[in-house]
Amino acid sequence: MAEGFNQFRADFPILQQTVNGEPLTYLDNAATAQKPNQVISALTDYYRSDNANVHRGVHTLAERATLKYEAARKKVQTFINADESAEVIFTKGATDGLNLVASTYGEENVHEGDEIVISITEHHSNLIPWQQLALRKKATLKYIGLTPNGEIDLDDAARQITDQTKIVAITHASNVMGTITPLKKIGELAHQHGAILVGDGAQAVPHIKVDVQDLDADFYVFSGHKMMAPTGIGVLYGKRQLLEEMPPYQYGGEMIDFVNLFDSTWTQLPWKFEAGTQNIAGAIGLGIAIDYLNTIGMAQVTVHEQQLVDYVLPKLVAIDGVTVFGPHDPSRHTGVIAFNIQGIHPHDVATAFDMDGVAVRAGHHCAQPLMNTLGQVAMVRASFYLYNTQTDADKLLSAIKDTKEFFNYGAVKA
């Protein structure tokens, strides 16, 4: 089963260490994924051999850097099945991409009395840009609610999306509960009412096969660092027609065609949205991370994570005093699981886990409206990826047992 993926752990040097005297069990992948040697080497190779600015020089280093940078764009295009590479815009990350769409398409197309529809599960990155756009434009921000088991309610989506809706912006997979959104169905609802679909794929692209044309997404964003690429690099996919109509997001070098004293014209896609010197090394690293995922196969990555969730989720649900949030059906999950231990603050749980060498995340996970809806201040989140194994799942279960015993012992002594 999942132990068959042990072979990939050797590619990740950070996983070969101990923390507090225990082998590292890294279960904070929803925050950021670790980097394989192949990505690390690509970064050092670029800086050692090819470091130059792209598109701006005719010398050999500039040409090599440009070829690698644009090759990475082509890899992204193929990976998400965009129609053409010009529809792939390099950004700082998913947050940057969402702000770009809100500040350009949103600013031009949302007016007083219009509606923007998101869900109560959204990460703040896919909430605040729309919230602030709605405030600026005197538009109405609406929220799709949840079913009793913590999934996006499609019936409520049909109620919230109306002919006044201009933008529907929805996560493809929850960063808190790991639930996968029926994004294609929500997109169909949006398009029936003349609205566009913006997909937040930060928690989806690293874990499942994403086809933006099949989803019929108008815009789709994701971050490189959650899929083993460097930090500071991400992608905005947009349909060409929409990108062509949008004004630039930032102004400066690289994105211009002609600059006159009192006006300017903009260059073609995708460079119209890539002002200034980009994260060249990051883009190259993203391309190598995609190569790595393609070598394994996204279907195999999904199956591996599903096996881990199939194994650990029922065991978590069965532990006395542990509350698991979101659906308890493993088939409804990515590798993200949120839970709390009764009577122990999530931050104390995460600290106790760390003493066992288990790295998890605790807090509101940049999803405070969701926390409020669920009546929680914070949660513990364990998130698995392709280099995790059943042994890691067992370490998580063992850490819960140890933590419960420690705090119960302390309570008795006190």
Please answer whether residues 82 and 213 qualify as being in contact, where contact means their C-beta atoms are separated by less than 8 angstroms: yes
Torsion from C-alpha of 295, 298, 303, 309, nearest 10 degrees: 110
Please answer whether residues 153 and 121 qualify as being in contact, where contact means their C-beta atoms are separated by less than 8 angstroms: no
Task: State yes or no: is 255 an active-site residue.
Answer: no
DSSP 45: H
User: Tokens 């088939």 — which residue?
Assistant: 331
Residues 6+ apart with CB under 8 A from 122: 169, 170, 171, 200, 367, 369, 370
> Which listed residue (40, 256, 366, 397) is catalytic?
366
- Between the alpha carbon of residue 407 and those of residues 144, 320, 323, 400, the distances in Å are 38, 14, 17, 11
Please answer whether residues 70 and 64 qualify as being in contact, where contact means their C-beta atoms are separated by less than 8 angstroms: no
Please answer whether residues 93 and 366 qualify as being in contact, where contact means their C-beta atoms are separated by less than 8 angstroms: no
DSSP letter string, 164-225: TEEEEEEESB-TTT-BBP-HHHHHHHHHHTT-EEEEE-TTTTTTS---HHHHT-SEEEEESG
Which of 232, 235, 134, 122 shows the shortest CA–CA distance to 183? 122
Rounded to an integer, what distance in angstroms lies between the CA atom of residue 84 and that of residue 73?
Answer: 10
Pair of tokens at residue 40: 């690390």
Angle at 196 between CA 193 and CA 199, to 5 degrees: 130
Rounded to an integer, what distance in angstroms lies between the CA atom of residue 73 and that of residue 90?
Answer: 8
Sign of CA dihedral 93, 293, 387, 368: positive
Rounded to an integer, what distance in angstroms lies between the CA atom of residue 211 and that of residue 80?
Answer: 5
Give the three-class secondary structure for 253.
coil
Catalytic residue ranges: 366
